[in-house]
Amino acid sequence: MTVYQLTVEGLESAGQQSLHRLADWLRGDEVVGDQAEVELSRAPLRKGDMGAAFETVQIVVDSGFQLASLIVAIAAWRRTQPAEGKVVIEGNQVRVTLDTDDPEKIRRIAQALEDPS
């Protein structure tokens, strides 16, 4: 099992609502919703954080999951948002920012998450 943490940047005024909408969107996606566990969770506190951490969308997938499906679903969700937000994806000790729907960039993001070496 692999766990990915998703956060939304650049939509601060709608931060928590954006996370809830993203989680709902991913649960409703044909591939992601069927093959991954999608939950809202507390972000782990980082060194220097004060107070409670924001929620994240947590994605739990099996080894056979096609990560590109998750990236494409997130890119599709971003196109439905009124403002340009970025989705930060953390997993496999890698942190990437999805701020595009360019297929080549999406492919590179998926590759970076799948092969962190």
Spatial separation of the C-alpha atoms in residues 101 and 19, rounded to whole Å:
19
Whether residue 5 is predicted with pLDDT greater than 70 in this model: the reply is: yes
Share of the chain above pLDDT 90, in %: 36
Sheet arrangement for strand 86-91: 36-42, 55-61, 2-9, 86-91, 94-98
Share of the chain above pLDDT 70, in %: 81
Whether residue 77 is predicted with pLDDT greater than 80 in this model: the reply is: yes
Domains in the chain (CATH in brackets) are 2-45+53-114 (3.30.70)
> Predicted confidence band at 70 (pLDDT cuts at 50, 70, 90)?
very high
> Predicted confidence band at 49 (pLDDT cuts at 50, 70, 90)?
low
